[in-house]
Structure 1
Amino acid sequence: MSGNWAIVPVKRLEHAKSRLALVLDAQERRQLVRAMLSDVLDTLLRVSQLDGIVVVTSDGEVSRLARQAGAHLVPDIREAGTNEAVRQGLAWLGSQQNGCRLIMPADIPFLTPGEVANVISSLRSHDVALVPALRDGGTNILGLRCPARIEAAFGEESFARHLAAARAAAITPAILDLDGAGHDIDVPTDLFHSSGGEGGARTRAVLSQLSCGNPVPVAVWMNEELES
């Protein structure tokens, strides 16, 4: 597929956001993931510079949400993690000599159309664009100008790995520190972040309804982290 495309890999809902289990039960976590994915897809659909969206998943409910949003669905046949899901999405799109690929998780609901446009714009003059997570050393958007010259390496400390891969390929990446796109929701303290801007309407509504306003579970979680 030619042009500019976004790829969003999404785990099965029963496996999603396990690190929030101390403050949210399984149903609440599913509700939150659905809201975050819907917010991300809604934002991407408002970006005129994007030609399409690919959601890679093996989850039936996620597949339904993706289709309802008008995204293209790629079944995650292997279920071998985020990077393998990304490879399947890239393979479905095929090799192109123009355009770009924006790879992002479904847990950055405060993403804005302007931020996505900024990443696409940066790829006019760079082969790689990186949006670092504000908190944990991760990568919240990996932008690749076609043909891609580095592979996805999501996971713990992925920003450093993507940066090293770019430098090994003699690429100077564009690094964009973005408030909305930089904030993912992955651990209990993320639930208490108040992001400004226009993004994340569904996620904000869900968080306001959930029982995550009690500081006790988060305090327990933080103590466990310090002791481990």
Structure 2
Amino acid sequence: MRREGGDVVWTLVVPVKPLALAKSRLAGSTGRLPRPTLALAFALDTVGAALTCRAVRDVVVVTDDRRAGAELAALGAWVLPEPTGGGGLNGALAHGAHTARTRWPHTGVATLNADLPALRPAELGRVLDSAAEFPRAFLADAAGIGTTLLSATAGNELAPAFEGRSRARHRASGAREIELAGVDSVRQDVDTEQDLRTALALGVGPHTAAAAGGLAAPGPAVGLD
């Protein structure tokens, strides 16, 4: 589970919804910017940044969306279909974690949201370094309600409890909350127009920058067109 020099190696599991269903809370506010285009751009920038993080060996994307799967595989991600029998987001994450552990039994496994378009590899590395100190750990999102990253070191079950108020559920499950300053890019997921403006202010990756078409940021939500 460690690289030469003592740094922990991680496999990240990134879930990607079918693009046609993704980012429903952006509906009606994105004007000329199609939700599927934005969702794919967010995922490409998230996975692209993660793949260049020094602490990350592999990224496993769990998706049934053919276009997203093809484009993320082209970046270097390993793409898995969603598990049969459903299970929702948590089922997809458990499936990805189990598959990763089967292939790399001595690596740490962490989930990462697919909507972190401002993700900075160095900040992700700091979060993962902190996570390596605990059997299970998580990072709360910028709103302080959800979770953007959940980790489990080798030999520990991931036990994802995402959707809704996952911060409280992960804390109640015994996972240690990571409390670091200066890792805003790992916290800033995008569900709403204002989230997108905030991410743009942090500085997004090239795919989101192109998809957003130069949208001004930050500022009050006044419509994207």
Q: Aligning the two structures, in what range does the TM-score lie when normalised by the shorter sequence?
A: 0.7 to 0.9
* Unmatched tracts of structure 1, length 5 or more: 219-228
| From 120, 127, 152, the counterpart of 2:128 | 120
Equivalent residue number for residue 45 of structure 1: 51
Deviation at 1:83, TM superposition (A): 0.6
Deviation at 1:73, TM superposition (A): 0.9
Alpha-carbon distance in 2 for matches of 1:41, 1:92: 18
The answer to whether residue 22 in structure 2 is matched with residue 24 in structure 1 is: no
| From 143, 146, 169, the counterpart of 2:154 | 146
Equivalent residue number for residue 134 of structure 1: 142
**Cα offsets for 1:12-59 (capped at 9, x unmatched):** 011101111111269611111111111111101111221111000000
Number of aligned pairs? 214
Match of 1:51, SS state, is: strand
Alpha-carbon distance in 2 for matches of 1:173, 1:187: 24
Match of 1:5, SS state, is: strand
Name the CA shift for 1:191/1:125 in 2 (closer, same or farther; >3 Å): closer
Name the CA shift for 1:214/1:97 in 2 (closer, same or farther; >3 Å): closer
Alpha-carbon distance in 1 for matches of 2:211, 2:193: 15
Equivalent residue number for residue 175 of structure 1: 179
Matches within 5 A, 1:75-90: 75-78=81-84, 79-90=86-97
The amino acid that maps onto 2:20 is: E
Structure 1 range deviating more: 25-34 or 109-118? 25-34
Deviation at 1:211, TM superposition (A): 10
Alpha-carbon distance in 2 for matches of 1:94, 1:157: 27
Percent of aligned pairs with the same residue? 28
Deviation at 1:150, TM superposition (A): 4.6
Query: TM-score of the superposition, structure 2-length normalised?
Result: 0.83
Alpha-carbon distance in 2 for matches of 1:215, 1:197: 17
**Cα offsets for 1:113-139 (capped at 9, x unmatched):** 112211221133211222111115000
**Cα offsets for 1:80-128 (capped at 9, x unmatched):** 4211110110121135663311201110111111122112211332112
Alpha-carbon distance in 2 for matches of 1:134, 1:118: 17
Contact 2:83 2:91 in 1 (8 A): no
Structure 1 range deviating more: 92-101 or 70-79? 92-101
RMSD: 2.8
* Unmatched tracts of structure 2, length 5 or more: 3-8
The answer to whether residue 192 in structure 2 is matched with residue 184 in structure 1 is: no
Deviation at 1:194, TM superposition (A): 5.1
Name the CA shift for 1:119/1:194 in 2 (closer, same or farther; >3 Å): closer
Name the CA shift for 1:194/1:13 in 2 (closer, same or farther; >3 Å): closer
Contact 2:33 2:211 in 1 (8 A): no
Equivalent residue number for residue 226 of structure 1: none
The amino acid that maps onto 1:154 is: F
Query: TM-score of the superposition, structure 1-length normalised?
Result: 0.82
| From 192, 197, 202, the counterpart of 2:207 | 202
Alpha-carbon distance in 1 for matches of 2:193, 2:33: 16
